[in-house]
Amino acid sequence: MKLKKLYEDENIVAIDKPEGIASIPESNPLIESIFSILQKEYLKKIFIVHRLDKEVSGVLLFAKNSDTHKFLYEQFFNYTVDKTYIALVEGVVIEDFGTIDKPIRQFGSGKMGIDELKGKKSITYFKVLERFSNYTLLELKPKTGRRHQIRVHLYSIGHPVVGDLHYGDIIRQKKFSRLMLHAHKLEFFVREGKKLLIESKLPNSFNEIINRLAN
């Protein structure tokens, strides 16, 4: 697989990740990941800065050296990276914008879920971009970075991400060819002290489903 690069300099490389491929190696080492493909391309070690779920498309960032990796990782750890996602969800979201503030933790099954007592603080901001008869297109900004945070938060308010086989009605979700969640933008500081904004346009697989609903 040839990867599309959204941005590259001597310290970082940002990939336009397609859906259906893991960010990092899975249990089977024979299955390629974004990381393993990049590692073959570069002669030196590549560092993982953050991850996207296998089913999610969009901006995925890697560092080319340990100093840059530490610098970027601290921004993700301290929630100072501005992350913007686009999602199509089930149902019509009434509010034009809002905040989902519900603590999340991992359960024994491996799935994430809301737990008001034992969960870690998790905040997601959302804004409606477009409403359809039974679906809503949202822009989302997760303030925190819990695993499956956007997916769990939207499921918890009765609007699961379309195509989500983990957090939604499996029979309905299987009707869609992909998880309708896309990492649209990343904005963060580079070591020169300026901010860098990297954007990934919605892929054809995403737009095809949106266009079908609009017609």
Please state, for a pLDDT cut of 90, what percent of the chain lies above it.
84
Question: How many Cβ atoms sit within 10 Å of the Cβ of residue 23?
Answer: 19
Q: Name the catalytic one among 9, 16, 53, 101.
A: 53
Please identify, in words, the CATH class of the domain defined by 5-214.
alpha beta
> What are the tens digits of pLDDT across the range 61-118?
999 999 999 999 999 999 999 999 999 999 999 999 999 999 999 987 778 999 999 9
> What are the tens digits of pLDDT across the range 157-196?
999 999 999 898 888 888 888 999 999 999 999 987 899 9
How high is the pLDDT of residue 109? 72
Integer Cα distance of 180 and 185 in angstroms: 16
Which of 12-16, 88-92, 209-213 has the least mean pLDDT? 209-213
Place 206 in a pLDDT band, splitting at 50, 70 and 90: very high
Integer Cα distance of 59 and 79 in angstroms: 17
Is pLDDT above 90 for 21?
Answer: yes
- Quote the tokens at residue 118: 């034992």
Does the annotation count 53 as an active-site position?
Answer: yes
Strands 57-63 and 181-189: parallel
Bridge partners (DSSP) listed for residue 189:
195
How high is the pLDDT of residue 1? 77
Mean confidence (pLDDT) of the chain:
94
Place 27 in a pLDDT band, splitting at 50, 70 and 90: confident
| H-helix or E-strand spanning residue 179 | none
Rounded to an integer, the average pLDDT of 34-47 is 92
Q: Are 131 and 93 in contact (CB under 8 A)?
A: yes
How high is the pLDDT of residue 108? 79
Which residue, among 124, 78, 79, has the nearest Cα to 100 in the 3D structure?
124
How high is the pLDDT of residue 135? 96
Rounded to an integer, the average pLDDT of 4-15 is 96
